[in-house]
Every structure is written in C-alpha cells, then in structure tokens.
Amino acid sequence: MHRSYHFNKSRQMVEPGIRLRALPKEGEFIPPLETLKRQKNIKKMHRFLSILVAMLMVFPLFSQIKGIPAKAERAVPLNPASLEKVAPIRPGVPLAESLFSGGRQFKPIGNLPKPIKGAPSLQAYISPETGTPYLIRGTFAMAAGKDLQDNVEAYLEAARPVLQMDSPTSEFIFYKKETEATGNFQHLFLRQQYKGVRVYGAEARLHIKDGEIYLFNGRFFPTPAIENVEPTISKEEAGALVLADMATFTKVKELSPMEQQLIASEQVEAELVVYHFNKNKNSGRLAWQVTAVPNVTHRYAYFVDAKTGEILRSYSELCQLAHHLNSRHEVRHSSDFPIKDKIAEDCSTKTADCGLLPAGKAGKTVDLLDGPATAFADDLFGISRLLNTYQINNNFFLIDASRTMFNLAQSNLPDSPVGVIWTINALNTSPEDNNFQTAHLATSDNIWNDPLSVSAHYNGGVAYEYFKNTFGRESINGQGGKIISIINVVESGGDQMDNAFWNGEAMWYGNGNVAFDAPLAKAPDVAGHEMSHGVVQSTANLEYFGESGALNESFADVFGAMIDRDDWTIGEDVANSNIFPTGALRDMADPHNGGNGFNDNGYQPAHYSERFSGSQDNGGVHINSGIPNKAFQLFADAVGKDKAELVYYRALTKYLFRSAQFVDCRIAVVQAATDLYGSNEVVAAQNAFAAVGIGAGAPTDSQTDVSANPGDDYILMTDVGFDQLYIFRPDGSSVFNPLSTVSPLSRPSITDDGSAAVYIAEDNTMQVIFIDWQTGQTEQQTLQPEPIWRNVAVSKDGSHLSALTTDNDNLIWIYDFTLQTWQTFELYNPTTGSGQTTGNVEFADIMQWDFTGEWVMYDALNRINAGIEYWDINFVNVWDNDAGDFAGGAVSQLFSGLPDGVSVANPTFSKNSDYIVAFDYLDEFNNDFLLLATNIETGDVATVFENSDLSWPSYSTDDSRIVFEANDNNGDPVLAFAPLADDKISPEGNATVFIGDGRRGLWFADGERTLVDAGEVTENAGIEIFPNPVSDGLTLKWAPLERGRTTIEIFDLLGKKVQSDEFEIREGSAEKTIDLSGLPPGNYFARLRAGERMAAFKVLKL
C-alpha cells in the first residue's frame, strides 16, 4: 500500500517512503534494503568518480552535478548521411495542424529574477555591475503589532541574502515617507551609508499598499571595503583643488550678492561620500563630492579622492536645451585608478550657458492700489496673451502673484517676491563678464510692447498651470517656490546665446544665433522643458550623466511635449531649418529627425541598440534621451496623452531615484500604470519599452491549453544506481518492476500516448521500448545501434527524434521518420542587439519537444571564457509543419539574462500548457538549489521547492503536481510530489514523498488526445470505424464530405505502412469496407485522408 509522507516547514522530508527493489534473477536472493542501498550507492559512486576525475578541472559545479561524460575521440567526424536509418517507432499520427495558428513562437521573457532563500514570495533582479538587486518583487506582509521601522527592518533582513550588505538595517537610512491620500499607498525613501558616510548614488524605495510591502527598487552597492573613513584632504582643500581645476578651462569669479541668489547652493559645497567610479562595485573610494559654480553660467560636479586629492571625475550639471559635440573634453589617467574622465564645457564658444538674477533691494512702501493686475499683449507669435502683472506704486512689473502659492507676508516687493512667476531682463549681458547686470521688466501703464518678454512670462505661467492642474503640483519644487525666467542672456563677449538652460534655480533664455533663428523664450515646449528640469531636480533628482542624465532630459522633453501637446517635436518654433533638416530640434516620434547618424544635427537613437557610448555630452544625455522619448510616444499613442502623462509623473515622483537607468524607468512606468489603471495600460507600457529595446515585451494572448490526457497515470523512473527502468502508478503500486534491465544513460522520453519510450543505454546505443497497454506486453529494440549517442527525445506524436552525440559539441540531431533522414542544427546564443549571435554553446543535455512538434526545448552549457561557465535554457525551431520539412534552426532563449553565478537546467513543459516550464536553478556562489517554474507568456517565476540537489522535474498529466528528486530527513534519495496552485507554477501545500531510491521520474498517461485546432477533423467528428476489434473487414462510415479522392493507410506499431487503399467518394454520407484479412493479429493505426480532412484511429486486429 502506498505510504505518503509530508515535508515539514523547513521543506525537508519527514521520513522515507517505499523504495524500489529490482526483481531478483532466478536463484538470487533479495538483499536487505540497507545492503541494496549500499551496493547501489557504491556503484553510483564509482560511476560518479570516474566522471568527476575527467571533469573536475573543466566544468563548474553545475556541470559536475549533471555528470556530462567526457568527449568522444573520433578519427572521422560524424556525418548525418553516413548513419544508419532509425528503426520506425510509429506513424506520424495524429498528423494535424498546430494548435497554435501560424506556429508556436518562443520569446525571451527578460532577465531571470533571483529567488531569495527563506523568502519564496520575493524575487530579486540583480545588477551585473554591482551584484545587488535593482528590483525585488513579491508581497511581504507587515506584522500588525510592529511599527513601520520594525517592519522595514524585518523586510531588509528577509532580503539580506541578495542585498550583499553586512548589515542592511544599519547601512540603509530611512529618511522620508510619503503617504498618498488615496489607494492606501506608502513610499519609503532609503539611502545607503557606510560608517556614517553617505554612499554616493545609492538610494532605494520601499513601496507599501494595504499593509504589504509589494516592491523594492533602487541602485546601491555591496558593503564597501574601506577601513578608514577619515579624510586626509580637508573639505576646504578639496574645494580649492576644484576651483583651481576649473580655472584651467573657464572663468572663475567671486559671485556678487545678486548672483548668489541665482544659484541653488553656495558657490562651492562639499560632502564626504563613498564614490564608486563607473558604478563598479569594487571601485569604492572615500571622496569629496564637490558642487562648484565658477560663474552663473556653469555648475559642475566633482569627485576628489579624500586621501590623495586626485580628481576622480567631473562633469557639468547644467541642464541645457541642446547639446553641442564641439564642447571641451578631457580624459585623465592615473596609475592607481583605471580610467578617470573629465567632461567640461568651454564658455568661450557660442554654445555656452550663462545667467544671473537681479540684486535684492530694500522694500518699498505698498500703496493701497498695489497688487496683482492683468493686461493683454502680443507675444512672438503675434497672439494676444493675458498677462498677470503686479502693480507697485505707479509701476507694473512682470511678476505674476495671482497664483495660490504667492506669499505676500514673506515677499519684499518687487526685488524679493515669494511664490511668484517672475520674468527678468539680462540686458544683453553675460553672467561670465564683470559687467553683468539685470533689470526688472516694468512699465508705468501696464502696456507691454516687447513680444519677447510677453512670451517668456506667458510661457512660464503656462508651464506652472500644466503641473498645477494636471498633477496638483505647486510650482517647480512642489512647495510654492518662485519661477524665474531670465531673457536676453548673451555669451561672454556679446554674441547672442544659442541655447536655453536650467541652472538649478532659474530658466535662462538666449535669443538664438545659429542653431536657433528666434528667441528661445518663444516656444512653450522649451519653457516647459526647462521648468521640467526643475521638477526632476526636486523629485527623483536624476544624475545628469549617462543613462540617468538621458532620463533627466527625456522627462523634460516629455512634459515639454505635453505642455505643447499638438505634436511630438521639440523646439520646432525656434529651430533653424538650415541646421535641423526637419525644422525641429528633436522629434520624439522619429528620434532620427532626418539624420542618419550622430554627426547629423538633431539625430538621436531610436532604439537601445543604437545608443551612444562615448563620453561627450555627459555620456550622451541629450543624445540617448531619444530612446526613452520614443518609448513615451509609443505609450501615449497607445493609451492617450492624458493617461500617459499621469503615469510618467507618478513614475518620476514615486519610483525613480538619482542613479536610475533605462530599465529602472521601464519598471517605474509599468508599476505606475499598474497603480493607476488596468492591464491594457500595463501591456502598452511594456510593449512601448520593448519596442525601443528596454526589456521584454508584454505577455501575449497565447496561453492556450489542451485537455489533459484521458488515460491512466504512470511514472517512469530509474533507480539510484541507474541500473534498470521501472513504471509505477502515482499511488505507489508497481506496473512494470522492472520495465527494462538495459541500464539507462539518459532519462527516457515517451510519446504522448505512452506507447513508446526512447532512451540511450549505458553502451551509448539508442533504445526504444514499446508498451501495449491493452495486453500489458512490452518489447524492447535497439532503435539506432551505433554507440555514439548521449541523449534522445521523441516528439509527442512519435514522428521525430532529437538526439545528442558523445562528441559533446554544439549540434543537435533531428530525425524525421517520414523523410527517414537526419538533419543537424548548430546551437548558438542569440544576442539582444542587431540580430548578432555568439557561438559560445559547448553542448546541450536535456531535450523536450513542444506540442507542435516544431520546437525542441533544451538546456546547454555555455562558456564565455576559460573562467565563466553556466547552463541556460533555450528553444530551437527544427521543423516546419506547413512545409513538411526541416526548419531553419532559429534559437530563442527562455531568459534573456541570468544573475552572475546562476545556472538553469533540466527544463520540462507542463503537460497541457507549453507556455509553462519548470526547471532547476543553481546559485553556485551560495550553493542554493531551487525548483522553479515560469509562465513564458506573463514572465512570472515562482519557487516550487527549496532543494538540496537538482530536482529533475516532470509535471503530472493534469498539471496539478510535479514529481521531482529530493532527499528525505535521513538524507536518502527519494522521488517526491509537489502540489501546485491553479497557475501551475506556484506551490500549494507541502510536498510529499512518492517513492524511495527513485530517480529521473517521468509522469505520463496512456490515453490518446489530438493536439489540433477545434475545427480539425478527429475520430469523433463524424467519421466512424467498426467493428473494432476486427477480424477481416473494417468499415469506415463518414458524415457528408466533399467529392474527391480518399486514402486509408494502415501502419503497424513500428511505423511501417502495411496496407494502403485509395478510392473516390461521392458527396454525402458514405461508407467503405477495407479487407484486413491478410494482416496478422495485433495493434495497428489507421489514417484516413479525405480532401483537407483527416482522422486517425487505433485498430486491434484479431
């Protein structure tokens, strides 16, 4: 009787169950169980050691465990044409069209998340650069009796295995919390510190809804390896070094009190940080982060080694509208630091950015008539605009105090207003020069005849209203801070400035020169762009460098385009069409913008594969912004601009952070769409980013299931010594004990109806076992006698084989029983860019056919170089059902990326859903073995079981359980059952022991099902055969068919055609009797073809 045992909460077996015993030979006694186990274990150990000695110095841990034998030495290479033909298994029935219209397609589902041991509901996505997670998904219930701080610490401790921190609860500082009025959302803001020193660019966000933490995202580093965090260089010395360096390429001047008002900081500020150059986890150094303003036209970030005084990196933080590739660029090198670069702007060129504010003056006595006023005036488009002005005594100023943010009590009017929109005149002077001056824009009669000042002031109000009315944001900083626009700014020396910029405190507008043929204050999208930089600065504060800087520019374009929302172009109202072929500075719908490459004005990449990888333009902040720009345009076109802008604002303010990369933006946008809307918007976001090469596409509607096999359930297995094969029922009762005494080298593969099992024997020949479930008889034959094989798999309908040889090469061999020919396919790893491939596949191991019989799923060992090896899972397209011939061999990955040190192998399809795959997961760094399962269409991954060895899974016929290998509490090997939830990938309840000493369990059934479309003719679609069993005459009767030729073919169990009849049918119901008297008794298959219709039947001849 079957005994079932459960796993305890630690996921280990409680006690052993029944164990396999080989049937004794005649006159041989059955040894005691412990003796039998020792004999098997000794034999297994001998075989394992012989393999291990040959492989230990070659293959990594996973390879050693899988036990791939040594490569064969062969004088003459194998040739498909020279091999003997394979003995037929059975005819290709049911031969029908694929269940999937147009054929099945397997697409990568993105990077494999790293399961967190001990917290199976959490999955981490690991950054290759830092080895730390940039995203952890999964719900974590917060304890009701604990406060928020305690729950955050509990979460960090649960995630500790992947955080790479010695003490995450002390290294992460919880510094801000945002609670939303609706939706029960909370967002916690964390930053990393080390021994009290901030780790630069290391931030994280923790997101809570309804008492559960549902998301953790950010960028941070493993615990730094810096013993002493006391600087040798003082803050003042670091500042002096920076000022001296800036003096070599730009003008450094002492800022006047009025200039000091227009910068967002002191002229020089310094903070001690741990700085990681190029975000390399091993490059952490104690440094001074110095923010320096040599003059109001420039703002630089510097990193100075706090021990040596070496300048590690510097770059401009000035957010310009346009970039120019003729800016000054220097690269510095150091003997003790691999690469250091310095990026600076030359203020002597016409592309420099300059600006300043007027000096504060004493307040004036307020007249009773003083206060907000309005006027109408024409802007640069010649359109009459409503202006909000302010009257003080008998003068009117371009100060908009009509907004709710205005604070009269704190204002010192007109020179120091608070909470206003303020437009100022730079009087065609340059902040670089000593003669820089500013003035109020004022009239005595509230009549405004200068279209330039009208446009600047009006556009500032439009931008304010957009953020206020759309997002409820009160001004740039969200707290009612004043909005300052400065016009008539020129270059040092007096040339007109050909740009606009945000310097951290104000918007500065030039009047155009070469690239722009109109004042930049004319364009509402330019004003929106510059103001949006301030919004970015006040929220995610995206670093103005690399991908983070490109996102900074992109969000400024996004909101600029939404302010001027009638098109997808930026700066089209001011750009010089002689410089920009399309007449626009940028085009979000077509980032190439009339250009063909980076040397063409206005050109941007439209896809990640086209990205700029140089150091100019702060690592391409204005160049690569075209990639996320295109993603937004696609998303907005799909869901509408009204929804898209809300999603992006939420992504920026809730989910992004200073060091965010493009993939973080995708995560943020998808999550924001999830928070605000439904699946349609989420799918649109996923597809938009996938279209530009950022992550995988959204799930497709291909989750098509087939009905379960209606036959009885069985499990085919071997023993721990790989001596024999057995078949047991899931209740533990034996059916064939043993099924075969020909020892297996590979795990068997079986046809969908359980009638033929193929495997490789210990002598490397290909074997087949035929099982007649009606008579209970079995017959074993050598399918292919040459001793060259390592593994074999049979398609579900028995029409094809896939095989691997002992050459241990990157070839997979496919045999078609109809064509009776072999075809080899070279395995490769597809890359994510430009369709290129990398040929680093060493060899495949486990194979399984999909439902359609067109694709083979396999795992393979890959070698990047002598020191990096890993296993992954792929699909190769080997057969074309429509053409009835071999396919082209296209390869698709299951996962587009794996965490470092992680391998996946031993894949198996679910029995009724070939978009569901279970597989083994090994983290070689931590020696973690997990049984995982994934839904290819949704991208979901779940941990089924935490194991201590490889699981070699196989789904049950109804997909409610998985049989897999494990060990019981005594450490003895067993086959076990893991129950599954309805999604077929998540565990449901505890696992139980099935049978002791079993290995390589393969679950199957002996029923028949046809994997065809609903409209395909099958045995119950109006065609009957009788009598069955039959002695002489087999009668076929069919419902109305079209007039034409009909063929009936009879095959034996070996697939040999033994009889064929062709006849003409008339329209209408008919019947035909076929004489089978000449056939010997036995089981046969009958296949009927009538025009486009077809059916297949089993026939028993008496």
Contact in structure between 411 and 417 (CB atoms under 8 Å): yes
Q: How far apart are the first and last CA of the chain?
A: 36
Within 10 A of 117 (CB to CB), how many other CB atoms are there?
15
Cα 597 to chain centroid distance, Å, stands at 28
In three-state form (DSSP H/G/I as H, E/B as E, the rest C), the secondary structure along 823-866 is EEEECCEECCCCCCEECCEEEEEEEEECCCCCEEEEEEEEEEEC
* Coil, strand or helix at 989: coil
Distance CA 727, CA 714 (A): 7
Single-letter amino acid, residue 774: Q
Contact in structure between 1 and 16 (CB atoms under 8 Å): no
Q: Give the burial class of 1078: count Cβ atoms within 10 A of its Cβ; 0-12 exposed, 13-18 middle, 19 or more buried.
A: exposed
Q: E strand or H helix at 793, and its extent?
A: strand 789-794
* Coil, strand or helix at 265: coil
Beta bridge partners of 422: 399, 484
Which residue of the set 530, 572, 869, 965 is catalytic? 530
Which tokens hold the place of 786? 């040459």
DSSP class of 503 = -
Single-letter amino acid, residue 218: G
In three-state form (DSSP H/G/I as H, E/B as E, the rest C), the secondary structure along 163-210 is HCCCCHHHHEEEEEEEECCCCCEEEEEEEEEECCEEEEEEEEEEEEEC
Contact in structure between 229 and 194 (CB atoms under 8 Å): yes
Nearest to residue 268, comparing CAs of 309, 240, 297? 240
Which residue of the set 276, 323, 622, 800 is catalytic? 622
Contact in structure between 35 and 42 (CB atoms under 8 Å): no
Distance CA 160, CA 611 (A): 35
Single-letter amino acid, residue 938: T
Q: Which backbone phi and psi does 466 adopt, to 5 degrees?
A: -60, -50
Does residue 530 have an active-site annotation?
Answer: yes
* Coil, strand or helix at 313: strand
Nearest to residue 951, comparing CAs of 986, 911, 922? 922
Which tokens hold the place of 994? 């099935």
Could you tell me how many residues make up the chain? 1102
Which tokens hold the place of 634? 């696609």
Contact in structure between 711 and 1005 (CB atoms under 8 Å): yes
Contacts of 136-143 with CB under 8 Å at 24 or more apart are 136/162, 136/215, 136/216, 136/217, 137/113, 137/214, 137/215, 138/214, 139/212, 139/213, 139/214, 140/212, 140/213, 140/214, 141/211, 141/212, 142/208, 142/211, 142/212, 142/213
Distance CA 628, CA 241 (A): 37
Nearest to residue 202, comparing CAs of 143, 111, 281? 281
Which tokens hold the place of 52? 């291990």
Distance CA 140, CA 123 (A): 11
Contact in structure between 810 and 827 (CB atoms under 8 Å): yes
State the catalytic residues. Answer: 530, 622
